[in-house]
Amino acid sequence: MQQRSADKPDQPVGDSTVRIVVGAAGEARPAPDATAVISTVDKDATTRLEVGDKTVRIPVGPDDSSETRFMPAPVPTTGGPVGALAEQPAAADHETGADHRPEFALAGVVAAVAGLLALVVPEGPLSLALLLVLALFGPGAALLSVANVRSRLVSWALTVAGSLSVLTLLAAITLWLRVWQPALWIGVLAGATLIGSAYQFFRLTRAGVPLILGRAGKPHATVDNGVVLGAIPFVTLLAGVGLWILALAQLSPDEVGLYGFSAALGVPFVVGMLLLFIGFAVELFGRARPLVLAATLVVLPIVMQATVPLLDGTIEYAWTYKHVGVVDLIRDNGSLISGSDIYQQWPGFFSAVAMLSHISGIDAISFAAWSSLTFALITSLMTAALLRQFTQDRRIIALAVLLFQACMWVDIGYFSPQALVYALMLAFWVIVARWLIGAPEIKAEPKGRIGRLRAWLVQGMPPRIPADARTRRWAALGATGIFAAIVVSHQLSPVLMMVPLFALTILGILRPKKFLVGLVALMLIFFVPRLGSVNSQYSLFSFDLLSNASGNSASWKTPEQEFSATVARALAIGLWLAALVAIFLSRKKLGRVLVPAVIGFLPMVTLVAGNYGGEAIYRVFAFSMPFVGLLIGVLWAGKGRRGVPAMLASGVMLTVLLLAGLQGLQGQLMVHQVRATDIDAAEYFYANAEPGSGLILVAPNFPTKLEANYGDFNKGHVSVDISLIGDPLFTGNLNGSRLPDIETYIRSMNYPTNYLVVSDAMDDYTDYFGTAQDDAMQSLDAALRASSNWKVFYQGPGVAIFQLTGQAAAN
């Protein structure tokens, strides 16, 4: 370390400061971005600079006339915990990361062989499992065996994203070109993956690149804080899982009450989660062993997302079954049959799943219940890789991922296009953050308000990671491929992504600008011809910010619903405010947090335009969560090791956050549960009802459109259900006395035959949401059975389908 005197910089009155300069010793005027100032307000003899688990003490006594210390390497932390975001982890990877290409070439070979075996083994679960190995790892591993990313975490995240993108685009293109041959194209994909991966593996090994299957690089720095604290995380992990299993084993689906899942599991579950998080906090603020932290990050999604499938064995949410029907339609027909069905206009996700279902011989309804868990694990991997682009601190990354998991009360992973595109969106930002963004070059004193504002916003931002033009072009191409898979799968997500992309480009942070132009062109080419059908179903241009941001608050009619909704809203607002505090604390060098803040918060401006059928606010929250978790994680864990009181307090706080997140996620489980008897009734209807007829529901929680022939019914209303509850004519005023009005309402739709569904689940729905009298279903069921105009078409436990047979009454 070298010292020199320098012209005294402007200093706060009464403070002693040290400037940390990244550059050559003796440099006359170091660049402002290479200088960090540490203040010692208390005039102590030393100032502390915390870097991970280590602390650098720099003397600044009164007898020390030197004011500048030249450091031999970039300093990660220079201004409190928020300064952790000024790190350059990717640059470190380029300097010390190992070459993992042979590892991914071998993974590509294994995944390709699994895909080929899936084509020859008998249809069933084994075939599906082998196909999933190919779909999740094959093509992406082949690509990563060529791209020398030098970060195993990022490489595995991009492997999964690349594989899913390739499968999605392949399925959609073959569907549009009417060359739908799933076995053929999966065979081609597996064969190309095998040949490319095998060639790359032998080429690399011949060139002397070693195959690294274990850990590469230096071991993680840990501190031995005693046998007891070292063993606690293992004990609490086992205890937490055990108590969850015990609570789940003692619970039946009928015992889930009006306050949802957490209340039904009871005290053992809460104690188990408290122990789990205390153990996590002990590890987080103690040794911070990566594998121990990762164990909790795997267990938590299982607890949150596997409980309902284990409890019910059916797919949650009635509207999910519409997606099953689209998959079956593509699988059975190999083509799209409706230009007005919004699901068929964005077929990426559906066609990819249809390929897997066609080859394995397993209906999507058999495995769709596990979608939330599968995508929770995938998005956790993507989130960790994304956060790694902003900080090297494993404590911050682990805590941020945990917050992302525990507080995600929006079920972003249920069987739907949103689940796929959310994971791909995170991978897209991994590529952009790693290779395509960085501090803009400001060569002269900024002029004008806009110039000064831009300079202030980017102040303190780490410089761009060194990368040649060829690397950036390939990165832009990879991000564009992922974006294309998003565009063909979902309507809203590309629009939300465009807002921060424009802002980053205008600020000069995202380059090249041609990258944004290409993305906009791709989105518009696909989106504009379909804009009318989307706007006819969703409120895209309502321009009512308060209404668009309120979600479904206008429909809160019962204490139970209001409780769950209030908890979820308070959690969201609290998290956003905490993240804003982190941004405020970094205001003097806002560039440290600018990129996470822009990507996480700017999608909120889309709420000015529309609410997307009430869903926009929930998508905005989900899109912000990885970056909110990062900003909060810096405040919470940015100072590294803590004592036992902080560990206990953190465990309690994390438990509270989890319970709040679960209340928002599963507080309405009683009405989101879909009973097996209702599924049987729906399958009977689509197998036996007259084509061209209308299906009317009393309440919208019946599993409609779950078969491939769903387009033969409710023509003109294919994308939405027809429900009495929800129509102002009947909401809050529905019972047997309204049967004549119901008949008139149904006949006005002019279907040749009409059916009406009444069920116990609908009774629960109207009770929970307060949209009908307590005895409405019983009164309506009795009136239907007594009427000569109706007959029972189907009768099952707790569900009946009635057929309207009589003629309309004369006026």
- What's the average model confidence in pLDDT over 221-237? 84
Measured CA to CA, the distance from residue 702 to residue 672 in angstroms comes to 10
**Whole-number Cα distances in Å, 273 to 247, 252, 459, 494, 662:** 12, 20, 41, 36, 12
- Give yes or no for residue 140 having a pLDDT over 70: yes
SS3 771: coil
Confidence label for 671 from pLDDT (cuts 50, 70 and 90): confident
- Residue 720's contacts (CB-CB under 8 Å, 6 or more residues apart) are 537
Amino acid at 219: P
Q: Look at residue 125 in the predicted model and tell me its pLDDT.
A: 95
pLDDT by residue (tens digit) across 556-574? 568 888 888 899 999 999 9
What is the helix, strand, coil percentage profile of the chain, to 5? 60, 10, 30
Measured CA to CA, the distance from residue 322 to residue 708 in angstroms comes to 10
What pTM, to 2 d.p., does this model score? 0.85
pLDDT by residue (tens digit) across 13-65? 333 444 454 444 344 444 444 444 444 443 333 444 444 444 444 544 444 44
Q: Look at residue 638 in the predicted model and tell me its pLDDT.
A: 84
Pairing of strands 68-71, 16-22: parallel
- Residue 499's contacts (CB-CB under 8 Å, 6 or more residues apart) are 602, 603, 605, 606
Confidence label for 648 from pLDDT (cuts 50, 70 and 90): very high
pLDDT by residue (tens digit) across 271-316? 999 999 999 999 999 999 999 999 999 999 999 999 889 888 889 9
pLDDT by residue (tens digit) across 730-782? 988 899 999 999 999 999 999 999 999 999 999 999 988 888 888 889 999 99
Helix (H) or strand (E) holding 685: helix 676-688
- Of 502 and 72, the structure prediction assigns the larger pLDDT to 502
- Strand stretches in 714-804, DSSP E: 722-723, 754-759, 790-796, 799-804
Q: Look at residue 719 in the predicted model and tell me its pLDDT.
A: 64
Helices (H), 507-615: 513-527, 531-537, 545-549, 559-585, 591-601
CA 153 remoteness from chain centre: 17
Q: Look at residue 696 in the predicted model and tell me its pLDDT.
A: 95
Pairing of strands 754-759, 694-697: parallel
Residue 48 carries which DSSP code? E
Residue 259 carries which DSSP code? T
Measured CA to CA, the distance from residue 728 to residue 391 in angstroms comes to 52
Q: Look at residue 452 in the predicted model and tell me its pLDDT.
A: 79
Contact, 494 vs 527, CB < 8 A? yes
Contact, 281 vs 654, CB < 8 A? yes
Measured CA to CA, the distance from residue 34 to residue 39 in angstroms comes to 17
CA 157 remoteness from chain centre: 13
Amino acid at 110: V
CA neighbor of 375 nearest in space, from 129, 626, 665, 136 = 136
pLDDT by residue (tens digit) across 370-420? 999 999 999 999 999 999 999 989 999 999 999 999 999 999 999 999 999
For residue 109, with 0-12 CB atoms within 10 Å meaning exposed, 13-18 middle and 19 or more buried, which class applies? buried
The encoded tokens of residue 4 equal 């020199």
Phi then psi dihedrals of residue 543, to 5 deg: 50, 45
Over its C-alpha atoms, the chain yields an Rg (Å, rounded) of 29
% of the chain exceeding 90 in pLDDT? 57
> Which of 21-30, 469-478, 631-640, 788-797 comes out lowest in average pLDDT?
21-30
Measured CA to CA, the distance from residue 439 to residue 5 in angstroms comes to 29
Contact, 803 vs 763, CB < 8 A? no
Contact, 58 vs 47, CB < 8 A? yes
Confidence label for 12 from pLDDT (cuts 50, 70 and 90): very low
% of the chain exceeding 70 in pLDDT? 81
Confidence label for 487 from pLDDT (cuts 50, 70 and 90): very high
Confidence label for 159 from pLDDT (cuts 50, 70 and 90): very high
pLDDT by residue (tens digit) across 779-806? 999 999 999 999 999 999 999 999 998 6
Contact, 130 vs 115, CB < 8 A? yes
Measured CA to CA, the distance from residue 250 to residue 268 in angstroms comes to 11
Confidence label for 85 from pLDDT (cuts 50, 70 and 90): low
- What's the average model confidence in pLDDT over 491-510? 90
For residue 559, with 0-12 CB atoms within 10 Å meaning exposed, 13-18 middle and 19 or more buried, which class applies? exposed
- What's the average model confidence in pLDDT over 68-96? 46
Q: Look at residue 590 in the predicted model and tell me its pLDDT.
A: 86
- Of 424 and 43, the structure prediction assigns the larger pLDDT to 424
Amino acid at 284: L
Measured CA to CA, the distance from residue 107 to residue 93 in angstroms comes to 21
Q: Look at residue 83 in the predicted model and tell me its pLDDT.
A: 58
